[in-house]
Amino acid sequence: MTAVRPAAERFAGARQIADAVLFEGYVLYPYRASSAKNRLRWQFGVLVPPGYGEGAGEHPDQHTELLVEPRRGATLTAELRFLRVQRRTVQRLREDGGHEDTEALELSDRVLTAWDEGAEERVEMSATVEELLAGEVLVPVHCPARTEIEAVRDGERTVGRTVRRCAQVDGVLRVRLQPLPGPYAAYRLRAVVENTTAWTAGPGDGREQALPHALVSAHLLLGLDSGSFVSMTDPPEWAKDAVAECRNLRTWPVLAGDDGRADVVLSSPIILEDHPQVAPESPGALYDGTEIDEILALRTSALTEQEKREARGTDDRAGAAVDLADSLPPEVMERLHGAVRALREVTGGPPAGADVPGVRPDTPWWDPGGDPGVDPATDRVQIDGRAVGAGDRVVLRPGRRRTDAQDLFLQGRTALVEAVLQDVDGAVHVAVTVDGDPGADLWRAQGRFLYFQPDELAPVEET
């Protein structure tokens, strides 16, 4: 019998990914509050109070639905995690002992400025399968308003203070299970996170005024102590119809259990694949996840000393990112230069063109023009029992696990095959232009095509 792991242990590995989601875009290079990039913040998982208004680009709730196969007597654990906006103002000390607001305090090691910090919040829930089947389980979210005042010292001298204010935030987490029809012992799990804060936008109020009352970077960790979740990205055949009926709004659930387990799910406002991982080469949090760590670290270490002082005064996390970039040894920087995630052994003789009749010995092995047996314009590939080549039409059915997310918009569209190509590893790629694309002639003239693997295509049925 497998020992039941405590919830904290089950979530340990997933929290590394969840933390990356929580702080994605928290503060962007060059890590200064004065940077234009850092003036419009909090882009993911923002659940505003319902009084913010409809049609304003933000919503008060997020919905997660997925399939689960719990064992008898199983317990579901849920953990709602989010940031609460903590507004920090800076005040200088007057000669009369009072304080007044100031744009910046010049200190010896940093320049302290006004800034919105992110305070981490967490709400936990645990319920048995029987409780969740009996009715919806509601967990209140209540974060009371608070004000914190901290003296600011420069060496031995007190020069001012910071005032941090958090507004009250209220919400609810609603979770329930519903059995699926059919012979399978499976259920649909529905989890809704909703902001219920009693705040109403006044005249002239916008997103900036709503943010202190919002749940920011909101996401869910879900865990089973006995049983498993069903992948929403790559479900088994029996579950595909039920998965297609699941309703996920402003979040997407992926398997996130350790070592490929299916006992933990991360429902994230950022679309991820099953079992996402932080690159082992990554030296630490840099928050600007759309950048490449190597480039970001190099550019950060190249900031001027004044720029670094401003970054350290913007946010403690920004200061830590600057210090991290400054302290990376050469061997760590070298590991950031690139990594191969998967290798497979290729056997069966010398590279193509090495001793092929009719091929000059000095022809590079990677040159497709050097092999007279290869012609993308005339080569064909078997798809559903039919030979398909340039000039044929196909139906596009992109594979979810290996194509760009944009390719999903092409599902069911027809396309013209322009070429059939084979890479040096023997994999076949079919180049196409999409029917009805007004730029098709331009792409064809420039040799710029969309590429799919044969099992992502189906021949157009002849009429």
Lowest mean pLDDT among 33-42, 148-157, 168-177: 33-42
**pLDDT of amino acid 346:** 47
265 part of a folded domain: yes
Percentage of the residues of the chain whose pLDDT score is greater than 90: 61
224 vs 186: CA distance, rounded Å: 13
The average confidence (pLDDT) of the chain is 87
Cβ(397)–Cβ(391) below 8 Å: no
214 vs 196: CA distance, rounded Å: 10
Instruction: Assess whether 128 and 17 both reside in one domain.
Output: yes
Domain that holds residue 407: 375-459
pLDDT tens digits for 342-358?
555 545 444 444 454 45
57 falls in which pLDDT band (50, 70, 90)?
Answer: confident
Amino acid letter for position 297: A
**pLDDT of amino acid 7:** 63
377 falls in which pLDDT band (50, 70, 90)?
Answer: confident
Give which of 48, 434, 463, 103 is closest to 218, Cα–Cα. 48
Give which of 256, 192, 269, 268 is closest to 229, Cα–Cα. 256
Number of domains in the chain: 2
Contacts of 398 (CB under 8 A, 6+ apart): 407, 408, 410, 411, 452, 456
Give which of 429, 433, 412, 411 is closest to 421, Cα–Cα. 429
CA end-to-end span of the chain, whole Å?
Answer: 59
3 falls in which pLDDT band (50, 70, 90)?
Answer: very low
pLDDT tens digits for 72-101?
999 999 999 999 999 999 999 999 999 999
50, pLDDT greater than 50: yes
113 part of a folded domain: yes
As a whole number, mean pLDDT of residues 217-239 equals 95
435 vs 460: CA distance, rounded Å: 12
Residue 132: Cβ within 10 Å count? 22
Instruction: Assess whether 65 and 201 both reside in one domain.
Output: yes
**pLDDT of amino acid 188:** 97
Instruction: Assess whether 271 and 379 both reside in one domain.
Output: no
Q: Which of 231, 258, 283 is the last residue of a domain?
A: 283
pTM of this prediction?
Answer: 0.74
Amino acid letter for position 27: V
Instruction: Assess whether 401 and 256 both reside in one domain.
Output: no
Contacts of 69 (CB under 8 A, 6+ apart): 184, 185, 186, 187, 227, 228, 229, 230
Instruction: Assess whether 70 and 186 both reside in one domain.
Output: yes
Instruction: Assess whether 384 and 249 both reside in one domain.
Output: no
Instruction: Assess whether 47 and 189 both reside in one domain.
Output: yes
61 part of a folded domain: yes
339, pLDDT greater than 90: no
pLDDT tens digits for 32-45?
999 988 988 998 99
330 part of a folded domain: no
172 vs 139: CA distance, rounded Å: 6
HEC letters along the chain: CCCCCCHHHHHHHHHHHHHHHHCCCCCCCCCCCCCHHHCCCCCCCCECCCECCCCCCCECEEEEEEEEEECCCCEEEEEEEEEEEEEEEEEEECCCCCEEECCEEECCCCEEECEEEEEEEEEEEEEEHHHHHHCCEEEEEEECCEEEEEEEEECCEEEEEEEEEECCEEEEEEEEEEECCCCCCCEEEEEEEEECCCCECCCCCCHHHHHHHCEEEEEEEEEECCEEECCCCCCCHHHHHHHHCCCCECCEEEECCHHHCCCEEEEECCCCCCCCCCCCCCCCCCCCCCCCHHHHHHHHHCCCHHHHHHHHHHCHHHHHHHHHHHHCCHHHHHHCCCCCCCCCCCCCCCCCCCCCCCCCCCCCCCCHHHCCCCCCCCCEEEECCEEEECCCEEEECCCCCCCCHHHHHHCCCEEEEEEEEECCCCCEEEEEEECCCCCHHHHHHHCCCEEECHHHEEECCCC
403 vs 387: CA distance, rounded Å: 23
316 part of a folded domain: no
Percentage of the residues of the chain whose pLDDT score is greater than 70: 87
Instruction: Assess whether 254 and 143 both reside in one domain.
Output: yes
Give which of 252, 255, 267 is closest to 82, Cα–Cα. 267
308 part of a folded domain: no
Query: Domain of 405: which CATH number?
Result: 2.30.30.140
Q: Which residue in the block uniquely carries the two structure tokens 């719990």?
A: 70
440 part of a folded domain: yes
**pLDDT of amino acid 365:** 47
312 part of a folded domain: no
CA 317 remoteness from chain centre:
20
Q: Which residue in the block uniquely carries the two structure tokens 């990914």?
A: 17
Using N-to-C axis directions, what is the helix angle for 305-314 and 316-327, rounded to 10°? 140
Q: Which of 283, 310, 343 is the last residue of a domain?
A: 283
Residue 387 forms beta bridges with which residues? 382
405 falls in which pLDDT band (50, 70, 90)?
Answer: low
**pLDDT of amino acid 336:** 80
Instruction: Assess whether 165 and 57 both reside in one domain.
Output: yes
Q: Which of 283, 312, 327 is the last residue of a domain?
A: 283
CA distances from 402 to 397, 405, 426 (A): 12, 9, 17
Half-sphere exposure of 187 (CA within 13 A, CB side): 21
Instruction: Assess whether 136 and 254 both reside in one domain.
Output: yes
Instruction: Assess whether 395 and 249 both reside in one domain.
Output: no
